[in-house]
Amino acid sequence: MLREIVLDTETTGTDAKGGDRLIEIGCVELINHIRTGKTFHRFVNPQRPVSEGAFAVHGLSDAFLADKPVFADIVDALLEFCGDARLVIHNAAFDVGFLNMEFARLKPSAPPPIVLEDVVDTLALARRRHPGAANNLDALCSRYGIDNTKRTKHGALLDAEILAEVYIELLGGKQTSLGLAAVAAGAADSDGRTADRPDEPIVLPVRTMRNRLTESERERHAAFIGTLGGSVIWREYLGEDSGA
């Protein structure tokens, strides 16, 4: 089973090293590239003002954030939700930089920093797939026909939900998701490949309709095709020797 967390953040500004802080986190769970419906969402009191530029992007004001918990109060819930799942982030260096900055502030009990190389960066994926094109989230939504009309302002959970759809398209679209869902339900090919190794081709086992017929149904159907003059097609459907 492949578990991934699509994650997005909003911040007071763009400079984590210069003192800007994280103010919102949104996460969406994927199992084998399928959304499970489980999400994580928290607003955070940054204990510093939101810059005018950042406010214009996300609309989260100092007054709104004043009564929200500080990062130290929500970090355990965040880590529990993410567990050991692989993170999927658009422009990962930005969000990882802010998360690691917030982790470092928790010394001496700080969790280990996130290793950027372990994160799936959908911006990098998009640039490889669409070199030279605009690859921000809005451009990708337009390219893949994903509805983002609710995105009048940036919001961590909404953006994570949209990014989850974009990520599936970057991987090859909904057909990939359907195949992985079938594997997750217990299907595997003759080599034993499963969605734990999603980069390998997935070949689902052949399941014919005759595998689903009961003995009574087979008998009734045999009686029916007896009236059709020995149709080869119907006999092949039942898996019978046509005599040819």
Q: Please indicate if the annotation marks 191 as binding a ligand.
A: no
The Cα–Cα gap between 162 and 72 comes to 27
According to DSSP, the β-strands at 86-89 and 120-121 are: parallel
Cβ atoms of residues 242 and 232 within 8 Å: yes
Q: Please indicate if the annotation marks 159 as binding a ligand.
A: yes
3-class secondary structure, 86: strand
Q: Please indicate if the annotation marks 58 as binding a ligand.
A: yes
Cα torsion 236, 239, 240, 244: sign:
positive
* Residues known to be catalytic: 154
| Closest C-alpha to 8, from 33, 22, 27 | 27
Q: Please indicate if the annotation marks 10 as binding a ligand.
A: yes
Annotated binding site for a divalent metal cation: 8, 10, 159
Annotated binding site: 8, 10, 58, 159
Annotated binding site for substrate: 8, 10, 58, 159
